[in-house]
Chain A
Amino acid sequence: MTLHPPPAPAGDVTASTSPAGPPAETRPRRPRLTARQRLARWDVRLSPYLYISPFFVLFALVGIFPLVYTGYVSVHEWSLIGGKGEFVGLDNYRSVFEDRYFWGALRNTLSIFVLSSIPQVVIALALAGLLDTALRGRTWWRMSILIPFVVAPAAVTLIFGNLFGDRYGLVNAALDLVGIDAIAWHVDTLASHVAIATMVNWRWTGYNALILLAAMQAVPRDLYESAEIDGASRVRQFVSVTVPMIRPTVIFVVITSTIGGLQIFTEPRLFDNVGLGGSDRQWQTITLYLWELGWRLRNLGTAAAVAWLLFLLIVIIAIVNLVLSQRIGAGSRTRTPGRTLGRTRGGTP
């Protein structure tokens, strides 16, 4: 952008800027805009904003306002029923940090998140890759992987709750058949995380696979043709062509599953009937902990503090994920499909 004033077009607005010029009303060169023209100009300037405004209005209403208000609640004593009490500053945050159950919940959340998100994205990627091939009855396969997503989470939890019964569950019965001792799904910490992660994966993998599949469909087919001519195997094509080409979508899936994974509530809440995450809180996640503080102990102030901490945690992990997945993507970007193929061409006879 230049700082110099633009050269004045001959005989245009300069006239009006000169103090000696005629009054604006009598300006001869520029005809006055009619009301309709002025409206049209506003139309061009404002309409686009108006068209996208419903989202932002809604977002401000249901996104920003609650976020800010939660922050306001978190620095007050706030009873669920009694409402606002005294201003206590950061005391609520301090009491959360001093509560051993918070740290347990943090550990459980991260553990369940890792056990669900990573296999989920990897399997979804592989599934999408398979569905992207010339399969017989493609549409049927594609639709059927979405079925788990349509089932209500509460129903999923009920079914899996039965499967993962400690004593009479089907999974343990199956393990017994192959000579493995029964696993205490509701007692052992890691086992309970695996059980919950399984429910999450069952529900979300197909959904993510469809999103990735949609992105894969947009990859130009001639890339694969060239790859094939170059002698690249199916797996090689997938790793070197497909994955780098759909990188933005992979990042999207990673971020959404991060948010979902860290907010996990229904599955652990319904894994037993008390809802506190096991007798020793083996699977109490942060949202469950928040719910306990707010709706069990009726202390909305500390619950709000936990909500804000969870928000920060999600932001941090999302950023870490973004950086990581970008790096992974960037790693393969230095070998863009074309260049990779070039190298392959040189390497194979």
Chain B
Amino acid sequence: MQNSSTTPQQRPRSLSRRLRRGLAIGGVATLLLGFTAACGGGDSEADDGKVTLTVATFNEFGYEDLLKEYMDLNPDIKVVQKKTGTWEEHRDNLYTKLAAGSGLSDIEAIEGDGMPAILEESDAFADLSDPELEDRWLDWKTEAGTNADGQLIGYGTDIGPEGICYRADLFEKAGLPTDREQVASLFESWDSYFATGKEFVKAMPDTAWYDSSKGTSQAMINQLEFPFEDEDNNVVALENPEVKRVFDTVTEMQGAGLATNLDQWSNDWVAAFQKDGFATMACPGWMLGVIEGNAEGVQGWDIANAFPGGAGNWGGSFLTVPTQSEHPEEAKKLAAWLTAPEQQIKAFTAKGTFPSQQSALEDPVLLESTNDFFNNAPTGQILSDRAQAVTMQPYKGPKYADIITAFQAAILRVDEGQETPDEAWESFSADVERIG
């Protein structure tokens, strides 16, 4: 540096330059530190000594007002809710942070079909067993949240007891009965359901009988005891004659013109609600809101108090407390409070999530609730009856979700005309081998 002389009168200026340089370096350091701090996540201990609990949910659990209520009841606790759109996104985040060993919320919601894989990772979750809560849930709900060693990993939130939703107006055009009681008698067994469907499509060739092969096959799979895996988690999907029977039935009915051939949840499927695309669909409690949203302005929807082949449950979630939580005791208390019958009834009123608690199923608020959109059907009573009729849940091993995805993709390939049923079964077999 040629001009850096040491003449006294220049010293102050270079001092200030040094100062400036120091500030610049400090600034960069601060930025870097800030960056790392931002990645590290916030403290769970707030400044005012309150314990902060985070609750991560997906879709709609109906907890907004409940969490406020809990904070009012417990002034020393602050609850922050983290909502994600879908279970898939929520799951990706959950898995990533489980693997990383940090970053999870104090309470993490788990979707029912995802629970088997979580039970495999029981070490990462707190044991929530509590003698006081033993009889709170429906037996099969508790069972689905309990691991092989008998530890309760998840508190049950909602369930998805299934009825059949149908378009009374289209039934009338096809010459079928429209009254909910009479319709229910048509849906006693899958045979009678499909037979009625054949009658329907003969009269109304432009409208399919059910919304998607995916929904119907899922309903049928949900009635098998060991669909894809046996008790020891050996994959038996290909040897199980009942799985093959479901596959054959659904593809046969597709051939008979009963299916829309649409992928469930696709844009076309959503649009079909507005276009008289189909007349019936398997209808777990949470589906009512979906139908109401998709079929806005369409008149004639109703729900029958029946489900082919007995009863079925589709979906429903759990609340878990990861061991990563810094306040597992407080989190457990909050999770227990949120899944108590009184609170579940409030969540049901808020977002229609159907409770899984024994006493909630007899709650007058639930039993007396009706739904305008479904021709004022007593949906609370119907779904409660449907829930009571559920006797067992299919056993779901850690590979359940992967296999049912492959199973439904195979059926969709038949719907789309890409493969014959035989070819689709072949390719499904290859997929199962791959999932291993």
Which residues of A pack against B, CB within 8 Å?
34, 36-37, 40-41, 43-44, 47, 50, 54, 57, 80-83, 99, 101, 161-162, 165-169, 184, 186-187, 272-276, 279-280, 295-298, 300
Contacts and interface: CB of A to CB of B under 8 A. Distances in A.
Contacts of B176: none
B412 interface: yes
B214 to A, nearest CB: 9
Interface residues of B, number: 44
A186 B267 CA distance: 11
Contact of B416 (A161, A184, A296, A297): A184
A272 B265 CA distance: 8
Interface in B389-436: 402, 405, 409-410, 412-413, 415-419, 427, 434-435
A43 B95 contact: no
Contacts of B415: 279
Nearest to B401: A296
B267 A279 contact: no
Contact of A168 (B14, B99, B117, B272): B272
Contacts of A34: 6
A81 B98 contact: yes
Nearest to B412: A279
Given A43-B1, A165-B268, A272-B266, A80 B6 contact: no
A209 to B, nearest CB: 30
Contacts of B21: 43, 47
B275 interface: yes
Interface of B: 1, 4, 6, 14, 21, 25, 28, 31-32, 88, 91-92, 95-96, 98-99, 117, 120-121, 124, 262-268, 271-272, 275, 402, 405, 409-410, 412-413, 415-419, 427, 434-435
A99 B434 contact: yes
Contact of B418 (A101, A280, A296, A300): A280
A186 B266 contact: yes
Contacts of A275: 88
A279 B124 contact: no
Given A83-B99, A274-B405, A296-B402, A279 B263 contact: yes
Contacts of A272: 263, 266
| A-B complex: 9 closest residue pairs judged by Cβ atoms | A168-B271, A279-B412, A273-B265, A40-B1, A40-B4, A187-B416, A167-B268, A279-B413, A279-B409
A50 B121 CA distance: 46
Contact of B121 (A82, A101, A166): A82
Contacts of B405: 274, 276, 296
A44 B1 CA distance: 7
User: Which residue, of B266, B267, B435, has the highest number of chain A Cβ atoms within 10 A?
Assistant: B267
Contact of A295 (B95, B264, B409): B95
Nearest to B419: A280
A40 B1 CA distance: 6
Given A274-B409, A276-B409, A36 B4 contact: yes
Given A184-B416, A272-B263, A279-B412, A297 B435 contact: yes
A161 B418 CA distance: 21
B268 to A, nearest CB: 5
Contacts of A276: 405, 409
A99 B435 CA distance: 11
A162 B267 contact: yes
Given A37-B6, A167-B262, 4 more contacts: A34-B6, A43-B1, A80-B95, A186-B416
Contact of B275 (A41, A43, A168, A296): A168
A34 B409 CA distance: 77
A81 B99 contact: yes
A276 to B, nearest CB: 7
B337 to A, nearest CB: 28
Contacts of B6: 34, 36-37
Contact of A186 (B88, B98, B121, B263): B263
Nearest to A154: B85
14 contacts: A40-B4, A50-B25, A57-B32, A80-B95, A80-B98, A81-B98, A82-B121, A166-B268, A167-B268, A187-B416, A273-B264, A274-B405, A295-B91, A295-B95
A295 B99 CA distance: 11
B263 A273 contact: yes
Contact of A298 (B14, B117, B416): B117
Contacts of A40: 1, 4
Given A82-B121, A280-B413, A187 B418 contact: yes
B95 A298 contact: yes
A161 B267 contact: yes
A273 to B, nearest CB: 4
Contacts of A54: 28, 31-32
Contacts of A80: 95-96, 98-99
Nearest to A296: B402
A184 B31 CA distance: 51
Contacts of A274: 263, 405, 409
B402 A297 contact: yes
Nearest to B415: A279
